[in-house]
Structure 1
Amino acid sequence: MLTMNVLDFSSYEEYLDNFITINDVRYIRNLNVSRCFIQHACGKSCMGRLLSRDEFIEKRKKMHNLMHPRVMNAAELFGRNYHGNDNVLQQFAKREYQLYTKQLAASTIVFLMMRSKKGLEVSSFIDLEQSFREARFKSTQHYVNWPAIFEGKARLTPQSYHLSFFDGSKNKVVMNGSENFQVFPEGAHSLLLIHRGDHKIVCVNGVCHCSHTKNVFRTMHSSSIYGHCIFFDHLVRRVN
């Protein structure tokens, strides 16, 4: 059975109705009885896992908050109290403030490169806005502890679920889409991304001179913690 999005259902009853078959309607002939039957007959084993009413409401609320984050003020930001001198952490805090106070209608991609114990490259392109947003819900699949990162107790590291991930020791490349970007390899460009909002193509290849490189503002910052870190800021254009 395909995974369902609880946001597709406006009520728990509508969610239950999705499990009712034509045969249920034909033989039971009562919608309320059919719903009760589905709840009691399915339990934890039917069709993957039927949500209870409380679980449905809670999951729907969390997914809605992820897809429609409210505008926050500066007092609620992870980097609000960062006053250190690490240049990259300063840039993280700056962009978090700009993104969530809506001073900057943009999406930011971060290129982060580190070295394995063998000295080989491990790197990622990261959707910074999504990483910040998901960090507000510890139950999210790819939770990042940004408060600990700004406090110096943890470090942002390349992960296989990022937009693009390269592990030099395994010669492994993984590409994933995010809520803001669709990713695809494209020959000489190395890596192209399409912003899901304005459909602009972004090229992050530093030596490429194609027109897509003009859709991002590229800056490099260095720190003792992260080495050289590249920020690609894409100004999102309003789609009419």
Structure 2
Amino acid sequence: MNKKILLIALLFLMVLPVRRALGQQDVESISKVKLHENALPKNARIVKEVWGSADQLNRLRLRLGIPVTALLNQVVTTENEQAQVNYVLTMNAAWLAEGYSNLVEIDGNRSCISVIDSVLLQIATPSKELEREILQSLHPDPVFLLKLKFNSLPQNWGLKQEWIFLENELAGLQNSLSASTLIEAALSQDFLAGHSKLVAFYFRCKNPGAASQLAQILASQKRVLNQMTIGRSGSLVVTIESQNVELNKKAISLVNWPAENGVQIFSVR
């Protein structure tokens, strides 16, 4: 009898995420960030919009290795190009960070991965111009626009891991840098550049003054072996760290800096 009760409970837990995926709150979370007809790139239109079925949600859970509560697929077309935009809602922020990292590892070399509010975003299209226009239309945090992209990496470079800092992790990062009032968003990437490890951090600060303070804090940190190159533009700060200053310079040159602000770059030994 107890075994039957346990089995029923397990089956209920498996079905529960599917039921939640159809809940109004989950639908609203995605609907707030998704593309709408009145805010599309020029000459683009939404030709398909479908909520994920129970089977699709289960496959996605297995693929990402995280609890997923809702999925929305949109197909956007222009005269000559097409893109699929996927919006994924995870159970909570902890799973969101894990899902982001896993999705970048699985599909990052052939699609654009980002996070908007609490929603995991994936844009898949052969057109880099359409990808950029769609991403800009969705207004992600600037750290996602800054980061090095797969299609811009040198041939012998590989992305090993990419991570976003949310809630407690962001607070921990702020405290470790003694910058608790400065940083509002952060993302990191670990690369293998040839035979060398290279780590990039992207920060959005609350204002340009806070970014200047953060750059000074980062520059003052002690380093035993690694060289650090720091770039700052407006409220954005990027650090590149490796054992080779020339690698750092190459990486910082690949950062997608905003066009409206100048960039200050300096190296720290």
Q: What TM-score range do you get, normalising by the shorter chain?
A: under 0.3
User: Normalized per residue, which structure has more strand?
Assistant: 2
- Kindly indicate whether structure 1 or structure 2 has the higher relative contact order, using CA contacts under 8 Å at least 6 residues apart: 1
**Greater CA radius of gyration, 1 or 2?**
1
Task: Provide the TM-score with structure 2 as the length reference.
Answer: 0.23
Task: Provide the TM-score with structure 1 as the length reference.
Answer: 0.25
